[in-house]
Amino acid sequence: MVVFCEVKSRSGAGFGDPLELVDAVKIHRLERAADVWLARHPEARGLDVRFDIVAERGGRLEHVPNAF
């Protein structure tokens, strides 16, 4: 399995939730980047692909597997 992971944080609670930063535009960019990486790494052919997000909130990490 190949996991592409986006890591997000915010500097304070007044700036919203870090997961809100991963919108449709960001997802599209991440999927495009993954396609390019996979095309350049033929050894990864046939492996499952997963997109995760890790959000940092107040010094704690939240892992969201299969986020999209």
R_g over Cα of the chain: 14
Residue with tokens 């939730």: 17
Q: Which of 1-5, 37-41, 50-54, 57-61 has the lowest mean pLDDT?
A: 57-61
Helices (H), the chain: 24-40
Contact indicator for 50, 3 with CB cutoff of 8 Å:
yes
- Which residue has better confidence, 63 or 15? 63
Contact indicator for 49, 1 with CB cutoff of 8 Å:
yes
Tell me the mean pLDDT in the region 48-56. 96
Query: pLDDT, tens digit, for every residue of 6-27?
Result: 999 877 666 678 888 899 999 9
